[in-house]
Structure formats: structure tokens, C-alpha cells
Structure 1
């Protein structure tokens, strides 16, 4: 039996309305789900991405620490979004510029190329494509 692929990623955010607006602009589409979890532990807002992947924003109903994300702390380092080619990667860098989202430009390595940026809570995100 093979190991299954990722179906969704969920991140905790400090200001849900701000993050919904930011991710809606980034994804170019609004959420497909926005509701309290039935046990009352958290609220989740979910976006559907190409390929069937889901990306969720969680708030723990005022129990979040409100700390800014830091990849040096144990936990999430970053979330990488797959793009198909170096040309598409360059298009995404231009799109980030249009949206006013700061990024580090296209960085190339022997294993592929990426553009790194951060969301409003400082969560590291990346567009990535394999080697040419």
C-alpha cells in the first residue's frame, strides 16, 4: 500500500477576516466553506485549490496565541504550492508584485526554483517548480 498524498493543509491565523481577504486575492477565488466546527473548538474557512487540494484557515475562537509565525520554532516551516514551469513561476512572481505582496524573487537551485513570500501572520509560503 502506497502512502497517500496530501489532501489539505490548515493553518491557524490571528485575524480571520484579514486572512480571508488576503488569501482570496492570492487564490483568485473565495472560500468554499466557512463555518464553526461542530464541537465548538474552532472555526474554519476552506479554499479549494486546483488538483483537489484544500487550504484551510483556522481560528480557535479567541484562544489563539496571536504570536507571529516563525519557521525556526518547532512546527510548520513553510507551505509550497506547485507550479508547472519556470515561466509559470515568473508569472506568479509578477502576480505577487501586482497584489503588493513582498517576495524574495525567483531563487534557483539544482533541485528546482521557487519564489518565497509570507502571509499576514508571517507564515512562509512558496511557489515551487522542479528542475528545468
Structure 2
């Protein structure tokens, strides 16, 4: 039993209108779901993805009015997005700089061409050449980014821990990820980044763990990451993961129905929040695919409260 890759990543924004403009107009991703945090209905939960919200393409944000993250370890420190080919990276380098976004330039990292940068709130991002690997996304025909250069989905997610041993035990002994290689930390070459892969491997199915003992403990906030979710293909395997966590004594949320997918949550030993999420039912379960993300949608259990919930939300566009 293995995860098949990264399902989605959820981060925090305190400036959600600016966030919406950046990810749709600069990054060219489609807003495929305009909903609320199901545990805090005062906050938007926005999902950016390919044209249809394919599993593995979702970068999502909670709209929380909180101070900026104080960076540190015990956290996810960079989110990678995939594009195909050096020409795409060169296009993005010029495009981002033209939009006023500073980049570090294209360089090779872990054997792949990579372009690192940050969003307007300091969310650490990177684009990586995936060589066409991973499930093919559905291009968005209204994106300002040409189809051949559009973001193809999530790539490796980088997390920071001060010490590897206990995290490694969970990754290999609980989630069945495989350690496959190491490379020098680009921010401090004295440190090492350990690469774990899942499923068939590839840039869409990797978790990179940077061992950074010199860093303080993170203080979560805007511009930081809340959690990363891993893909499980169906209900049968989802239930099996729940049984596995319980049998191994891993504290977890129990099964949670998010309506668009099913979830399980648990923390690895250094406190990073992991989610296991099913590929389906998907975002078109309650919206026409042609109008995804254009209006606020709520899961059925929140519909009776729609008027009060929507009244508490500010327009984002």
C-alpha cells in the first residue's frame, strides 16, 4: 500500500484578494473551488489547480487574518510546482520578473532545472522541469499563461526538521515512502536534504526533508504552509490507511468527509501536519465544470447556514 503522489498543499494567506490575483493572473492557475474552511466558516478556502481540479494539481489557501510566519524548522518550507522543459522555465523567469516578482534565476537542484521565488506574502515557491512526468493536467483555456507553459501540478514538497531519525521512521515504517537519494541544502550546504519517493516515483511523488538543526522553531502564520496531503486512489485504500494508522498507534483525526475528497490527518514526529486524501469524488460533484470557482459553494452539511456564512465573507474579485 503506497501513496501515488502529492494530492494538494494548503497554505495560509492574510491578503486573500491579492492572493487570488497572483495565482490566477500571474501564475495562470484556475480557481476551481471558492469555498470556506469547513472548520472555520469565517474564512475562505480557495483551491487553485488545472482546468478541472485534477488530483495532484491543487494549491489551496486558508484566508486567515494572522501575522506573517516566522520562519523556522518543524515546518514545510517550500512548495514546488511542475512545468515541462527548459523553455518553460525561461519563459517563467521572464514572466515573473515582468510581474515584479524577484527570482533566483534558473539553476540545477537535485538534478533538475529549478526556478525559486516567493509570492507577495513570502510563500516560498519553486518551478521545476518535470520532463513531462506525472499525470497530464488539463490546460485552462482562459489562463494568461500559454498552454505549453502552464503549471502542470505539484512537484516535490520540502519540509524542515532539526533531526531526521523519528521522521524517517514514520515515513518509511508507516507511510511506506522510500529514501532514494540526498543532496546539499541550497540554503546551507552543510546541511543535507533527504529525498523520499512514493508510488512510481518522479517529481510529482516526492517529499524532500531538509535537516536544519540550526533553525529556530517555526511560528506559523501568513505566507506559511498549513499541511500537505498525499494521494490515495480509492475508498478501499483510504479505509486501509485509517486501519494502519490505528494499528501502529499513530494518533490521527479519524476519517473526515470533505465532500470533494475523503481525508485523514496526522502529525509526523516533528509536528508537520500530513493528510491522506482520496482522488475523488472531485470538484465537479456540486458545480458545472465550465463555471468552477465562480461562486461560493458549500458542502451539504453547511448549506443550511449559507446566508450567514456568505454574509461574513468579503468579495475577493
TM-score range, shorter chain: 0.7 to 0.9
Counterparts of 1:79-98 in structure 2 under 5 Å? 79-98=228-247
Match of 1:122 among 271, 277, 289: 271
| 2: CA distance, partners of 1:29 / 1:84 | 16
| 1: CA distance, partners of 2:151 / 2:184 | 30
Q: Deviations over 1:66-97 (max 9, x none)?
A: x2x67x52311111011111221110011111
| 2: CA distance, partners of 1:97 / 1:44 | 30
> Which range is displaced more, 27-36 or 51-60?
27-36
How far is the alpha carbon of 1:14 from its aligned partner? 2.1
Number of positions where the alignment pairs a residue of Structure 1 with one of Structure 2: 128
Q: Deviations over 1:15-72 (max 9, x none)?
A: 2122122211123254111344476153111111114211111012x3221x2x67x5
- Structure with more relative contact order (C-alpha pairs < 8 Å, separation 6 or more): 2
1:7 aligns with 2:155: yes
Gaps of 5+ in 2: 1-146, 283-317
1:111 aligns with 2:260: yes
1:131 aligns with 2:285: no
Give the SS at the match of 1:20: helix
TM-score computed with the length of structure 2 as normaliser: 0.37
Q: Deviations over 1:101-123 (max 9, x none)?
A: 11111111321210111111211
Match of 1:64 among 215, 218, 224: 215
Gaps of 5+ in 1: none
Match of 1:22 among 170, 194, 205: 170
**Quick check: which has more Rg, 1 or 2?**
2
Counterparts of 1:41-52 in structure 2 under 5 Å? 41-51=190-200, 52=202
Give the SS at the match of 1:58: strand
Instruction: Compute the RMSD of aligned alpha carbons.
Output: 2.2
| 1: CA distance, partners of 2:174 / 2:208 | 14
TM-score computed with the length of structure 1 as normaliser: 0.83
